[in-house]
Structure formats: C-alpha cells, structure tokens
C-alpha cells in the first residue's frame, strides 16, 4: 500500500470512533481535517497534546477544521480518555494499523532497552478538497496545536 504525499488527495478511510460511530474521510469534504497520531491514551505527552487541541477547538472550528485523534488503542480506552478530559473532538481506533500505515507513522522505538514498533507522534493537515497540505513528523508537544492552527489558511 502506498502512503500519503503532500499535495496529493488522501485516500478515503473509515474507522470506528468515539460516540459509537464510524468516521469516513469523504464525509468531511468541504472542511479542513487535522489528523493527529499519538502513541497511547492517558500518557503524559498524549494527554497534553490532546488537551491542547481541545483548548483550541473553537479556533479550529472557526477555520472550518475538524480535529481527529488516532491511536491503536481500543474504542473503550478512547471513550474513557475522551470523557476524562472532555475532548470536544473524536478519537479514532486504528487497532489494525491500516491508517497508521497509510500515513507511515509506525516506527521502531526503544522501550526500556527493548525495540518495539509504535506510533511516532505525527500530525497531518488535509484541506477542504481532501489534499494533504502539510505534515508534521516527530512532533514535540509543546506549542504544536497552536502551530497547526496557524498553518490553516482561511481563504
């Protein structure tokens, strides 16, 4: 399977999401979509990043932008994470890693001296026509959500 490329249309995807729903990219046409991949629910960096996106939700909304968080965690885990921190956006469960592989975010990591495959914190901005406008890889959490917001044009 090929991966996404800046400037090209992102292939449609459909994943289970919080709120007992499935979210499909094609249904979001006409709006910008921020897809941020994070390693694990309820861990410090992932919680901070998600809270930052949540804090800026209204500003994203004014720029006609939908925020979607994605990890390999289960829907049950996502529901708890979203409820605990009251995220105003949906979390998608990519347990089979299809979306992770499409966006090429699975990387070898070192955990306690053991090599494991996990999600590299990454964010992608898809425009109203479904084209990948920008990508951020190896994301540092601090200030990231604001940087993504700033990158969205209001044309």
**What pLDDT does residue 115 have?**
85
Task: Taking residues 125-151, report their average pLDDT.
Answer: 95
- Is the pLDDT score of 3 beyond 90? no
Selecting among 46, 99, 100, 119, the annotated active-site residue is: 46
- Decide if 100 is catalytic: no
**Range 18-41 average pLDDT:** 96
Nearest alpha carbon to residue 15 among 74, 121, 92, 69: 92
Alpha helices in the chain (DSSP H): 44-55, 57-62, 75-85, 98-102, 144-151
Residue 155 has pLDDT above 60, yes or no: no
Question: Mean pLDDT over residues 126-155, rounded?
Answer: 91
Domain ranges (residues) in the chain:
31-151
Does residue 25 carry a pLDDT above 70?
A: yes
pLDDT tens-digit profile of 37-68? 999 999 888 999 999 999 999 999 999 999 99
CATH class of domain segment(s) 31-151: alpha beta
Q: Summarize pLDDT for 94-121 with one digit per residue, the tens.
A: 999 999 999 999 988 777 788 888 889 9
**Of the candidates 112, 78, 115, 120, the residue with the CA atom closest to the CA atom of residue 95:** 78
CA distance 109 to 120: 8
Predicted TM-score of the model (pTM): 0.92
**Are residues 128 and 32 in contact, defined by beta-carbon separation less than 8 angstroms?**
yes
What is 117-131 written as a DSSP string?
Answer: EEEPPEEEEE-TTSB
* pLDDT given at position 20: 95
- Measuring CA to CA, how many Å separate 102 from each of 50, 114, 138? 22, 25, 16
């Amino acid at each position: 399977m090929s991966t996404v490329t800046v400037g090209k249309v992102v292939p449609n995807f459909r994943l289970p999401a919080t709120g007992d729903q499935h979210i499909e990219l094609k249904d979001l046409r006409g709006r910008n979509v921020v897809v941020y991949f994070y390693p694990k629910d309820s861990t410090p960096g992932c919680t901070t990043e998600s809270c930052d996106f949540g804090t800026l939700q209204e500003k994203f909304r004014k720029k006609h932008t939908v925020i979607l968080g994605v990890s390999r965690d289960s829907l049950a885990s996502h529901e708890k994470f979203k409820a605990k921190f009251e995220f105003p956006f949906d979390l998608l469960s990519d347990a089979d890693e299809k979306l992770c592989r499409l966006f090429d975010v699975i990387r070898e990591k070192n955990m306690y001296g053991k090599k494991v495959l996990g999600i590299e914190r990454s964010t992608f901005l898809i425009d109203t026509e479904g084209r990948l406008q920008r990508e951020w890889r190896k994301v540092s959490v601090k200030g990231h959500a604001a940087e993504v917001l700033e990158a969205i044009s209001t044309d």
